[in-house]
Amino acid sequence: MTRLLVPVMLLLLTAPLAAHQDVLPYNRISLNESAMIEIDNDLLVVMLFAQAEGRNATQPADEVNRQIDWAINLVKSHPEIKIQTMDYNTQPVYSKNNIRGWRVNQSLRLESRDSRLLGDLIGRLQEQLQVQSINYQISDEQRRKYLDSLTAEALENFRARAEHITKALGRSGFRIVQLHINDGQNRPMPMARGIMLESKADMAIAPARIEAGTQQMTISVNGEIELNEP
């Protein structure tokens, strides 16, 4: 009796699957459309780091800690600038497979809408820190000013494209099967990387020359439509 039940159960389980597979997605077309606009960059983001080496980890750690503490105190006198400490790393330095010392570094992230102030401050901070990167971004507030209108434009482009294809193929209409919207999170604009200083204490560093420029904000819409029968 058990031997007879197994084939019957398998048949019952596979029957709905087979029936579902018979319904093929005919008359379906994938579409991609987008809308874009040029927006003024309004947020400057700077990454700096302190780094030191020594025969043991204590001396470079102390040096890095002092440099970062100095930088934080300097930046905190400017409430217009947001500050965040980042990765803190201690790594061995090898010579012929033997540890000859230790390298310690820590990063500092600064951001501000006042690019002139932050640009001037970069020169001060480079007395003890090194610049890792300078990026311009679109702030979330700036981005949201254009998000709804740009999304509506991208959707309208998608609809117009679908209608054009429907008419060109002689169909009476269409329905949207699926739709995906990429909300256009902006990518940072890299401006400078790896600015190294051979001697920090004896150098008078001019303020960084920084121009905000613009950046493209794009909303993309991709999806699938199903055409009506002729």
Q: pTM to 2 decimals?
A: 0.65
Answer for the pair 146, 218: CB distance below 8 angstroms, yes or no. Answer: no
The highest-level CATH class for domain 43-138+188-212 is: alpha beta
Q: What are the residue ranges spanned by the domains of the chain? A: 43-138+188-212
DSSP 201: T
The tens place of each residue's pLDDT in the chain, 230 residues long, gives: 545 444 445 455 555 554 445 555 678 999 999 999 999 888 999 999 999 999 998 999 999 999 999 999 999 999 999 999 999 999 999 988 899 999 999 999 999 999 889 989 999 999 999 999 998 888 888 889 999 999 999 999 999 999 999 999 999 999 999 999 998 664 544 444 333 333 344 445 555 556 667 888 999 999 999 999 87
Strand partners, 135: 45, 190
In angstroms, the CA 28 to CA 224 distance is: 7
Q: What pLDDT score does 121 carry? A: 93
